[in-house]
Structure formats: structure tokens, C-alpha cells
Structure 1
């Protein structure tokens, strides 16, 4: 391990090894002896301001909402917006579609703005700007989506994704790590490699930000750099990495996907020392990392052995989000024996206790339009379902909703189905008309304490990682109608789950002309596409009062 922590640096040009740190950051002093420092938050103060959570990309919401017993329903859905990661900030969702970049109102999914001229994904929000990555890094004005600036890399190998933190935009382009000024895109500093002339190591991974540091991976292993100057804080040897798309960081640990392996090396975020080995599609917070291989899904302590559990879901995968004390993951089948009777949780959104792995609840595609998790913000889970972006929220109290039959009611509101406006109890009819869900949806999905095996059966195996490798991008799968459709993915995107659900299933759509409730659905319009000036919300699912209408959420048989 190498450390360089005894330098007082300014924004002036610095030569570090064979890398170059060039100025533009101003004259503020940075004491690298104090870094990494877990008290230096990269911000902003949002649950999911970047494409994989916060700028650390570890898919971790520290104080995340504890969702109630799987009682989720679709609040809204936007066609074609679920194929890539999203960011959520100030009650606005930023997403990409085949037609460009859009900003959506988080309350109802209506379009705030759309830019059809930008082909990019992986949004990150900071200040008044949203940053996206395509062939170049593009900075968009958050108020109207107009382009503020665009990088000029002309990369041969593409840009994996950008990280926005500490006033800068960080990305690896053709083996070189760049730090750009967030305000105007000018180069703050760049590093072409680290090491010596006889032992140079280029950068092979994207970037992550935490603890007042920028983390990346070279062909030698992980590295931590000071954001303003590029001064090296530590670097160490780790898993061989000729190419890897993903790196994750929290105040506790840094992890990255090893090339050609389902293993994830975990290193201490402050020192770089190796602390543990995780498994494919990892997510982790301050205490626990979770992930899965061919032979199970497991959780373990990052340091020590206080927590250790496994879930028997062979050949079933999904990249989780740790929200508060719960692990939320959408499991899908990938390989293994065909349709075994013992397969649990295939195509189900499952909530696990992060400390022991016990199942809190499970929700299948037959019950709701669930899919791979794109974001968790506030009391909403955003998922990909058949290529669409769906906002899932806990069921509302439908007793407060007006009864359509009361529109012409002139008898003083004494019908049996009337809302109880005056506090009187008129429910003595002997019938329970509450449209509430089952008290325990997990009962139908095999959720029980028996999943807490604690056997540690987390052998990684050699199966395909549907989230952590570029091999998943563009994979063809059969949709429900037997057609071949192509999965969608971003630029070398480790977080783009292609869990057999990224196909747009035309068979699941119901023509708006046939939807008798279409006129009553907020934001629902027919005709024009998402970026044509009108919003094509496919449906706004409300379980109460829709029993007799066509349910466009149900998957085709």
C-alpha cells in the first residue's frame, strides 16, 4: 500500500507520479492529512440525487422509509423511462428515454421538461444543474433542460459514468481520470496513470465520492484522491482489474467489481486496507453488505462477523437497495435448472431484514407492476417494469375518496357507500366494504423466518451478473408474446438491471380509447409520445374503485 498524506496543496499545477493535476480550482488550501474524513459529505442532502443513490453509488439510503408489509400500488407510470437509472431531487425525477432526457414531477409523473436533443443517461443532480453521460458529459439546466455545457473528450472507449461531488464532475475516459469544474466543464485536473515509468497503471473503473475523497480503480487496485487537486490519499493492490464498470463507496468501505468474477473486493474507506469480499450486484451501507451468487443471496458485516445470513435463492439475482433497516431487492431468474419447484421469489420484490435476512414481505408481478429498483426516495420506490418507469407507493386510504355514484346524489348523502363526512358511524349494514389488501401479503409468498438460515452459503459461483457486467447490455429475451426484444442499458452501466424485465411488452398495454377511466386519470393523454409535448402516462393505478374497469397493469397471459 502507498500513502501520500503529508502535502498541503493548492489549486496550482501539481505533478504526482506520472499523472498530471492541473489547476483551475482556486487557491483554497486542502490539508490532505485530514482526508479521508467521513464527516465530509459529498451532498446534496437527498435520498437519491444520483444515478445509483448518492455520489457514493452504493445504493444505500441511511434513513430510508420502512415500507409497510408490501402494501404497494402504482401511483403512476411513464412509458419507456425505466430502462436506465434515475435521480430524484426536490420532488423531481430525472430519467432518460429513447427520445431524450426528461424531468418528471414526482407527485404524478407529469413532464416538467424534456430535451430530445440529448442522448445520455445516468443523471446526477447538484445545485441548479443535472449532469448526464453519453458520448460526452452534458450539463443541463434543471429549470428547463437546456444545455449549459458539454465536454469535448471524443472518447474511443466511451465514458462509464460521471460522479458529481465537491464542486466537480469526475469521470474516467479512455484510461484517464478527469476532474471537471461543475460550473463550466473546464478541466480542474487529470491523471493519465499512477505508479512509475516501469509500472504504470491506467484507470479502469468509474468514480465514486465519499469522505471528502474521490475513489476509482486502476489496473492495480483501488485508489483514493483529493477532489480539488488529485493528490493521492492512498492506493493499494486488490483484485486484478483489467476492466470494471462499478465502484461503490460509503463512509465505511469502498468496493468494486473484479474483472471476470462475481466477487467484490471491499476495502477500508479511510486506509485502503482489505476488509472483506462481497458478491455480485452488491449494495452496502455502514455496517452490512448484501449481494448474491449462483448459490444464494447473503448479507455480512463489513468489519467483523456480527452479522451473517443467507437466503436460498439459487440462480436468482437482483441488485438491492438498503433502505434504513430493510434490504429491498427484485429477484429474477438467470440460468440454472428450468422452472424448479424449489425456486422462491422469482420476479418478486422482496423486503428483507438487513440484520438477519428474514423476509418481511414479498410482492409479485401478479400483484403489482414490480421490477428492478431504479431509486428509492421518500415514500416512493421507483422500479422498471416492462421498460416503463413505475412509481410505487403504499396504498392510500380510499375511504376518503369521493364515490362517483354520489355526483348526482340529492338525498343528503345517506347512501351506504357515502364517505363519513360528519363523523357518524353509518357502517351498521353488516357488510365490510373496505377495499383493503390482505393483512399479510407475505403469507402468499413464502415469507417466513425459515429463510434466516445463517449458513453463510454465499458461494459466488461463476454465473452471469445481470447488473454488474457489460455482458447484460442489449441481451435479447422473449417477451410474453413470444417476440424477441432487446434489453436496454447505459454506457457500461453496472447498475442497469436487465432482470428479464427491460423489454417493452406491447401485450401489456391497453389502448387509452378503451380505458373508461382515462379521462379521470391525472396526466393521462392519448396520441403523442412522451417528448411530443403531451405526456403519455400508461396508467394511474388506484386499487379502490377499479374492479369493474380494465386493469391495464396486469401482465398478459
Structure 2
């Protein structure tokens, strides 16, 4: 049974910090001739320090963990924290809920702090602060959630979301691009418009940061700016759309064409047009390949330059926000209209892992078996997903998890995990019956495969008919015998379902959450935490991250 924790208010009233300071002169003029420069890192050395990944927002993790889908299970869940984007840094997850913003311990999902006075989303981490976007830009202290500063833009002004990099916070507000100092919110520089063809063009898209520059879009096209001074590095092209965001890596810059699934991809160094990517709402891209789908182009990937890689899945009108992590594409696929053809529903409500080079299916997990959903972040060895509004941390099952379950001597919900536990001798008969039920469930799972019959992994071809290396495909498909066995291993957690009624009671009525004694108060609350998180020692959840 996967764990759920409710996020409740701490009762602490946090005052609003200092307002937006007057404009400053900024840093000395940089040599823009040396930019863009891929060696200039825009942000923290983390997998997912900002909403949509890094400051480039391209949903790309260069050297990500290779997950074994058959062993993935829910390590913890936090109610109401999965509806918006999250950031992960230094073992802490930053998220927003209907009741404020929170910092969660990435290890077990316990609440580090909560600020119920901030109504904002799209977190970004830099230095000692975490930044959120709402009616204003707000910077919170990462140690306790207190407000360090808050902007004071026109209350009626439109703010899409912020980009944090190079010691600044970059945001477009009613057509003006502002660079705020991350330390105190003072204005580093501001650009109201860009001149082109004897006309002035306002900024129309939230910026991205990569290669030592800030990328944005105006009515005159793409523009790259030096982050310290706002000096123009280059601008190019004329756009016929109104995108709301820009995405960038060291290889390319992309922006959405308004009302279209087409994404112009441009050279990150020069701004010159390279290719058109296709993706409903968003695409993901790294250094070689972009991935998207949801239109009549199907769901697939292609080379950013040339035609070395090109693949598609036979799942037209299927949508999924992809993440490219290492050699794998991860996406939670759902239907997006189209003709009611059952053949195109093979991956509906499935978390799918694909080989990024040929689209072959490594594994697929159905929401019927594991609480999967839209990917909110991938960091380290954890995939964070939105499952019915809850933030769920998915990890591979480990021996440590099993030992933790066996150590819960007084936990009657352990089911089959109590086997060999002398302290539960009175439950041996019931345990035996439960083990039998679990065995029946596992035997049924062996005959089930989440991959469709026409999976590219089954016939050695990619979605577009191109040949696929059998060795690579065999290592990842759910048809592989080893992977099937690992799936059964992951299903060992189903033994918790043998006592669903008791587990659900624990999940929905969390003891010890009070407003008077910290986030968790009383021995009952701590004992519940130890049992749910599998901890052997007491934990001080109020201790801020270092």
C-alpha cells in the first residue's frame, strides 16, 4: 500500500518582505562577442532545480538514472502537492498546494516547512532562496520558508513565470523583461521593447537561460541578452505567433507557435532556424533529439539536426509531457481526442519509458497497477508524478525497504511481509492466508504485459518501420523475462492491500499534525511517521535543510 501524507497548515503567520527596489546600474558591460558560450552554466548543479527542469525549461536531464520499471513503487505521497510543477535540490522538494507552498524531505515526504501565506507556483532554487511566481515574484528562505523579498508589480499585470539564473530572476511583466537581483529583488535592468524595422516590439514570452545568455521572444523574433546588463547578443527572425515561453539547451532554442503544435527550433548560438518540432502543449529536447506528440503527427522523436534519428509510436492523438533523461524518454501518455479507435488506446494512462534514439519501449506502467501520472520531476533515483492531484515519489524497491517493513513488529498491516517475524506469532494463520492471496495475484501478473501487441520492441522495428537493434530492445521491453520478474517483485507491495481498510484509515487520518507544537506533535504522530516511513529512529521534521 503506497503511503500518503496530508499537508496541513502550521499556523505560523509569515510577514511579507521588502518590496521591489529601484532600478540599479547592474554589472559592468560584458564582452558579448564571446556569447553564447555553452561552458557558462546557468544554475545549480542539480537534476531538477526549477520547474520544467533547469533554467532552460527543456525538461532534459543530461545524465539521468536508468530506472527499472518493474521495480518502481510509490515510496511516499503528499496530498494536493502534485497539481503544479516542482523543484528538487539538496534532498528537498519544493511544491505548491491549495493551502500554500511547502518544502518536503525528498527521502520520505515529511514536511520540512510550510508557508500558508504564499499563493504561488513554479518554484526555482538558487543559493539560499526558493522563488515562486504568483501575483508577484516571491523569494523564500530555503531553511524555514520565511519571505525574504517580494516584488511590487502592478496588481493587474500579467506574469507568466520566472527564470532564475546567473544571480538574477528574469520575468516578463506586461511586455517588459525585468532582471531582478536574486539577493534582494532590486531591479538589475529592464527592457520595455526591442527595435526592429523602425518599430518597437514588446516581449511576449517567459525567458529561458542557457549558454551564458537569457533567451526571450518579441514580435521581432528570438533575442539573446547578456544577463548582467541586458546588452543584446543577437536577435533574429520575425514570428507570426504569440508564444508564452521559451526553452533552451546548449544545442537549440524553441518556442511554441500560438495555437499550433509546431515548435520552431533554432540554433542556440546564432538563432538561425534549424527545424520544426511537433508537440501538443510542450516538447522536450536535449542536445540531439526532441520529443513531442499529441497531434496528427503522432507521438515521436526526431533529430534536432539532420535525419539520423526519427521514430514515432502508432498512438495518434495521444499526449504526454516528455522528459529526456539520459538515454531514455519518459512520458505519461493519455488520450487527446481523435477518432475512437481502440487500437490507439494501448498506452492510455501509462507511464512509458522509451529508447530516445529509436522509440522502442523499455517498459510501461499502468495507473491501475502503480500510482503513476504526469511527470513533475526526475531527480536522482526518483520520478515525481502527479497522481490525482497528489505528489507521488516513485522509486525502485530495495532490500532496505523490505527490512523496514519486517521491523514494524507492531504493524498489523504488514501482511505477507511479517513472514518470519516472531513477534507476530498470533497472526501466522492470517498471514498464511494473505500469502496465498498474494501468490495468486503474482501468478496473474505474470501473464499480463503493459506493452501492446504491436509494440516496436516485439517485432524489432521502430514505430516508423525502421529496424531496431535487437539487443537494445530486448534489454528494455516488458516482454523480457527478467523485466517480467522484476515487475512481480514490484508487486510485492500489493500485500499491503490485503488490509486496505486499515491502511486507508491511517492514510486519511494522519495523527499528530497540529498548529501548536510544530508540524508534527505528540508521540502518536512520531510513531505514525516511523511506521509509515519505515524509520528505525525518531526524526525531527522541523529541522531545516542544511
TM-score normalized by the length of structure 2: 0.75
- 1:418-497 correspondence runs (5 A): 443-446=449-452, 447-449=455-457, 450=459, 452-454=462-464
Which shows bigger deviation, 332-341 or 134-143?
332-341
Equivalent residues of 2:196, 2:220 under 8 A apart: no
**Counterpart residue number, 2:289:** 288
Equivalent residues of 2:290, 2:301 under 8 A apart: yes
The separation in 2 between residues aligned to 1:437 and 1:322, in whole angstroms, is 34
**Counterpart residue number, 1:426:** none
The separation in 1 between residues aligned to 2:277 and 2:340, in whole angstroms, is 27
The separation in 2 between residues aligned to 1:87 and 1:441, in whole angstroms, is 38
1:256-290 CA deviation, whole Å, 9 max, x = no partner?
11112110010000000111111122000011000
2:502 maps to 1:515: yes
Q: 1:352 to 1:541 in 2, by over 3 A?
A: farther
Q: 1:65 to 1:188 in 2, by over 3 A?
A: same
Q: CA deviation at 1:394?
A: 1.0
Q: 1:338 to 1:436 in 2, by over 3 A?
A: closer
1:305-329 CA deviation, whole Å, 9 max, x = no partner?
1111111111110110001000000
1:488-516 CA deviation, whole Å, 9 max, x = no partner?
xxxxxxxxxxxxxxxxxxxxxx9x99535
The total of aligned residue pairs comes to: 449
1:474-493 CA deviation, whole Å, 9 max, x = no partner?
xxxxxxxxxxxxxxxxxxxx
- 1:312-323 correspondence runs (5 A): 312-323=314-325
The separation in 2 between residues aligned to 1:47 and 1:166, in whole angstroms, is 17
**Counterpart residue number, 2:415:** none
* 3-state DSSP of counterpart to 2:300: strand
Q: 1:33 to 1:416 in 2, by over 3 A?
A: closer
* 3-state DSSP of counterpart to 2:93: strand
1:110-138 CA deviation, whole Å, 9 max, x = no partner?
11111111111000000000000001100
**Counterpart residue number, 1:311:** 313
Q: 1:436 to 1:63 in 2, by over 3 A?
A: farther
Equivalent residues of 2:36, 2:212 under 8 A apart: yes
Higher helix share: 2
Q: 1:264 to 1:405 in 2, by over 3 A?
A: closer
Equivalent residues of 2:69, 2:365 under 8 A apart: no
**Counterpart residue number, 2:243:** 244
Equivalent residues of 1:247, 1:257 under 8 A apart: yes
Equivalent residues of 1:267, 1:273 under 8 A apart: yes
- 1:116-155 correspondence runs (5 A): 116-155=116-155
Q: CA deviation at 1:350?
A: 0.3
The separation in 2 between residues aligned to 1:542 and 1:138, in whole angstroms, is 33
- 1:370-389 correspondence runs (5 A): 370-389=372-391
2:511 maps to 1:525: yes
**Counterpart residue number, 1:338:** 340
* 3-state DSSP of counterpart to 2:449: helix
2:73 maps to 1:73: yes
* 3-state DSSP of counterpart to 1:101: strand
The separation in 2 between residues aligned to 1:232 and 1:440, in whole angstroms, is 60
1:157-176 CA deviation, whole Å, 9 max, x = no partner?
41000000001000000001
**Counterpart residue number, 2:366:** 364
Equivalent residues of 1:80, 1:388 under 8 A apart: yes
* 3-state DSSP of counterpart to 2:464: coil
Q: CA deviation at 1:455?
A: 6.0
Equivalent residues of 1:69, 1:440 under 8 A apart: no
**Counterpart residue number, 2:329:** 327
Match of 2:393 among 374, 391, 402: 391
**Counterpart residue number, 2:480:** none
Equivalent residues of 1:315, 1:333 under 8 A apart: yes
Q: 1:442 to 1:151 in 2, by over 3 A?
A: farther
**Counterpart residue number, 1:400:** 403
- 1:193-212 correspondence runs (5 A): 193-196=193-196, 198-212=198-212
Q: 1:513 to 1:320 in 2, by over 3 A?
A: closer
Q: 1:34 to 1:335 in 2, by over 3 A?
A: same
* 3-state DSSP of counterpart to 2:69: coil
The separation in 2 between residues aligned to 1:523 and 1:406, in whole angstroms, is 21
2:258 maps to 1:259: yes
The separation in 2 between residues aligned to 1:214 and 1:283, in whole angstroms, is 19
The separation in 1 between residues aligned to 2:408 and 2:183, in whole angstroms, is 56
The separation in 2 between residues aligned to 1:293 and 1:317, in whole angstroms, is 4
